[in-house]
Amino acid sequence: VPSYPSLFNDVADIYVENIRSMDYNFYGIVGIATAGIPLATLIAYKLNKPLIYVRKESKSHGTKRDVEGIFDKNSRLLIIDDVITTGSSIYNAILKIRKYGGIVDRGVVLIDREQNGIKFLRENGIHVNAIIKTSYLFKVLLENKCISCKEYKKIVKYISDTS
């Protein structure tokens, strides 16, 4: 999406609208490597909030940190990612943030692949809002004749089998 600036801006606006409707008080926005970082950057800018991001691996030079950005211990942070599948990447990022004293118990993703990621995180005390579910997305694609009925049924079966 970042390769299409107008679409990228529209997607970020959807996140911002969702976040504002949450009535959730937080200090900053956390992005997850890789796709979550550009999204979190634009969202943090639009909300005038500090940006924190989590690396997949610690740097081998400089600070050698796996979390970049400034926040105080016990700062409440909101985590952002593009897609949730199993929830493991969000969960692992939250564990890294907690190592530095940050509090993360809420998040927002654009797409829920409906493979139990939301449930896994909820069971671990983390509530994630998904803006859209893949089942709805593919239903819209079917209704707009972007995919065939056969493709749709195959996708629905895959979602059902993996959730």
| Topology classification of domain 5-132 | Rossmann fold (3.40.50)
**Spans of all domains in the chain:** 5-132
- On average, the pLDDT of the chain sits at 93
60 pLDDT band, cuts 50/70/90, is low
| Mean pLDDT across 96-122 | 96
State residue 87 phi and psi, 5-degree precision. 90, -5
pLDDT of residue 125: 97
Closest CA to 77 of 55, 48, 92, 98: 98
The more confidently predicted of residues 160 and 132 is 132
Q: What global pTM score does this model have?
A: 0.90
- Provide the Cα torsion 65, 68, 71, 73; round to 10°: -30
Ramachandran angles phi, psi of 67, nearest 5°: -125, 130
Residue listed under structure tokens 């909820």: 122
pLDDT at 56 > cutoff 80: no
CA distances from 85 to 41, 43, 66, 90, 113 (A): 22, 21, 22, 10, 5
158 band by pLDDT with thresholds 50, 70 and 90? confident
User: 63 pLDDT exceeds 90?
Assistant: no
The residue that leads in pLDDT, 14 or 163, is 14
CA dist., res. 120 & res. 163, Å (int):
11
Q: Which residue has the tokens 């989590």?
A: 54
